[in-house]
Copies of this chain bind each other. A is one copy, B any other.
Amino acid sequence: MAIRVGILGYGNLGRGVECAVNTANDMELVGVFTRRGPATVKIASSGVKVYHTDALETMTNDIDVLVICGGSATDLPEMTPKYAKLYNVIDSFDTHAKVPEHFANVNAAANDSGKIAIISCGWDPGMFSINRLYSHAILPNGATYTFWGKGVSQGHSDAIRRIEGVADARQYTVPVPAALDAVRSGSNPELTTRQKHTRECYVVAKEGADKAKIENEIKTMPNYFDEYDTTVHFISQEELDRDHSGLPHGGSVIVSGTTGVDNQNTHVVEYKLNLDSNPEFTGAVLTAFARAAVRLNNEGAKGCKTPFDIAPAYLTEEDGDFIRAHFL
């Protein structure tokens, strides 16, 4: 019997999950749930209903796992514990500093209901986290580096859009090639924030806006830009729409460590992503972990988990005999 999936939230990420669920042979999309008026939300899947979130109170017999596609700032801290009381749930919570609190809240709810919640499923946190952990476990005498990009940071793009005089903006995070080379060489360099990444901004100014002032506000913005070498390009809305409408992203987790009686041998492990669509890849990761959540819950497991707690065999639709024959 197919795994029955619900999607809560229908932005870019929800659409990414929808694609991945429709690609899976062992899953069925039961419905998309929205806080907006359901009639106003048009989804890509034919024959699948859009519901108001209120319907989730009464559909526990119809859904095996609910994939929660909300933001980490305000949506997920409320939604994930709330729905873990009713469903197996998956989220992509990515506020690193608040993971302990979120984990504790979700764990209490899921233990109470006997359901499983897997939080922080995506690529960072998610696949990058898994790779940081595997490499650390193998090379405890090592250093871990994470590079992001080249790719669009939606948080930084939003930050620019909030500046007075800005009509639209797109920000790319770009790793510094010399830093990547140094890390890949195994030399374990110490790198400052500025040495690891640069930031490239494409900005549409409103008519009559003071571009020099906008550029200065971007470059000096605390946390977002002040610690980076930032380039600002002013372009037209047409150029932005034509050349910067995609959401590519990616990056590398690189661990270099030593082994041997005198630590004389160096090993470099790199996990690298090059993604045309950040939300579709993230949605595909969420979907694989949704499958794992249902399988584990069927075996009696409950409570809050992270990708660290999930054996890879649970993520794919094929069984043990098949994966040993084809992937081992």
Q: Could you tell me which A residues sit within 8 Å of B by CB distance?
A: 16, 19-20, 23-24, 44, 96, 99-100, 103, 120, 125, 127, 129-134, 136-141, 144, 184, 186, 259-261, 264-277, 280-281, 283-285, 288, 291, 306-313, 315-317, 320-321, 323-325, 327-328
Given A308-B320, A325-B99, A327-B132: A274 in contact with B267 (beta carbons within 8 A): yes
Q: Contact: A23 with B141, CB < 8 Å?
A: yes
Given A186-B274, A267-B275, A313-B133, verify A306-B324 contact (CB < 8 Å): yes
A-B contact pairs, 20 of them (CB 8 A): A19-B259, A20-B259, A127-B269, A133-B327, A136-B316, A137-B315, A138-B284, A138-B288, A144-B327, A259-B281, A259-B284, A267-B274, A268-B272, A269-B271, A270-B272, A306-B328, A308-B312, A308-B320, A308-B327, A309-B313
B261 x A44 contact (CB < 8 A):
yes
Say yes or no: A100-B324 contact (C-beta < 8 A), given A268-B273, A271-B271: yes
A182 CB to nearest B CB, Å: 14
What 12 additional pairs, Cβ within 8 angstroms, besides A267-B280, A267-B281, A270-B274?
Answer: A19-B261, A100-B321, A100-B325, A133-B313, A136-B316, A140-B316, A260-B277, A267-B273, A268-B274, A270-B271, A308-B311, A308-B327
Give the shortest distance, in Å, between A245 (CB) and chain B (any CB): 13
**How far apart are A171's CB and chain B's nearest CB, in angstroms?**
20
Q: Check B269–A328 contact: CB distance below 8 A.
A: no
Q: Considering residues A268, A291, A327, which has the most beta carbons from chain B within 10 angstroms of its beta carbon?
A: A327
Given contacts A137-B316, A138-B288, contact A120 B281 (CB under 8 A): no
| Min CB gap A193→B, angstroms | 18
In contact, A328 and B140 (Cβ under 8 angstroms): no
Task: Find out whether the CB atom of B136 lies under 8 angstroms from the CB atom of A327.
Answer: yes
User: Among B139, B270, B308, B323, which residue has its beta carbon within 8 angstroms of that of A133?
Assistant: B323
A308, B323: Cβ atoms under 8 Å? yes
CB distance from A12 to the nearest CB of B (A): 12
B residues less than 8 Å from A323 (CB atoms): 133, 308
Most buried by B among A131, A274, A306, A328: A328
Most B CB contacts (10 A, CB to CB) among A127, A272, A288, A312 go to A312
Q: What 8 pairs between A and B have smallest CB-CB spacing? A: A265-B276, A137-B315, A137-B316, A308-B313, A259-B280, A265-B277, A268-B274, A137-B288
Of A103, A136, A144, most buried by chain B (CB within 10 Å of CB) is A136
Complex contact A324–B99 (CB within 8 A): yes
